[in-house]
Amino acid sequence: MDQYIPAAEPPRGKRTLSAIGAAAGYLGLYFGIRFAVTMILFVIYVFMGIVAFDGDPETLLRWLMDEKLGEISFIEIIGSTVAFFAAVWVVGLVRDRQKPAWERVGFARDTGFVRFRPVLIPLLIVLGFSLNMFVSLAFDILPIPEDVMNDYADKSSMLGETTMLSVLATAIFAPLSEELIFRGMMISRLRRALPAWAAALIPSVIFGLIHGQIIWISYAFLLGLFLSYIRIRARSTAASALLHAAFNGSSFLLPLLPIPDDAPASLVYVLFAVSGIISAVLTLAFVLASGEKTSREEACA
């Protein structure tokens, strides 16, 4: 009987290039799908506007920018999320068919959307709420230039009023697609050849930059690092997606709290401190409850 000889591990340089190439490939697929869906929606809405306004370009442009921009953005998020999940599933299916059965990975393991400890679910939900409150109150405390805050407010107002569509897109679909690419596909690929800190840093930088506005970039980068830690520690992209969904979803709940716009500075500082302490305690509880993290991701082909 012939002796089994395992395949030699490729050189470190080649392994690093392969890992970065795989991560870049999925990132390109993600942005490609988003661009394609955006273009399709743009054509549809322009056609609708031409029919509605008899081809008047000025009225059409004003209608798109003032009334439909937020709606288009939310539909794009939902459509892109569905398309990206389908694309990742198809890519994995094609890849696995070329391998023997015992080497096939499957969608759940490939993306990291696997079960995690149930005790973490309430921790992550409450943590998402307290963390959002902490970040929101930080805007009132930190010495952020007025022109930067005005730009932030203008960009936020472009998304329009709260609707069921905006809640679905922001609290469910956006966290799913962003966690799939940045904490799922990219981290798992980069960790094949890079240390955990580098595998978390690279997607977090990109995650921050795509948010465009300087305040969004800043806190999205920091949030990305934290979500990366959650994903690695819990060994599940589903865990970071839950926290991300709770963070985004709480944006619709925080305005309902009975906190007046002209609240005294002392109250703002107290709420800031309390939300920060709660977030720190819940993070510590998460660390203790999640158990020992693995030193390496599961091998994915």
Q: Which residues contact 98 (CB under 8 A, 6 or more apart)?
A: none
- The first and second tokens of residue 216, run together, are 């969004």
Encode the chain (301 residues) as per-residue pLDDT tens digits.
444 444 455 666 787 888 899 999 999 999 999 999 999 999 999 999 998 888 788 898 888 888 888 899 999 999 999 999 999 999 999 888 877 776 677 888 889 999 999 999 999 999 999 999 999 999 888 888 888 888 887 777 777 678 899 999 999 999 999 999 999 999 999 998 899 999 999 999 999 999 888 888 998 999 999 999 999 999 999 999 999 999 999 999 988 888 777 778 888 899 999 999 999 999 999 999 987 544 444 434 3
Q: Which residues contact 70 (CB under 8 A, 6 or more apart)?
A: 158, 159, 160, 166
Q: How far is CA 148 from the centre of its chain?
A: 23
What pLDDT score was predicted for residue 299? 39
DSSP, collapsed to helix, strand or coil, labels residue 143 as coil
What pLDDT score was predicted for residue 162? 80
What pLDDT score was predicted for residue 144? 84
Q: Which residues contact 249 (CB under 8 A, 6 or more apart)?
A: 128, 167, 170, 171, 172
Residue in 290, 283, 276, 278 with CA at minimum distance from that of residue 134: 276
Residue in 157, 159, 145, 140 with CA at minimum distance from that of residue 260: 140
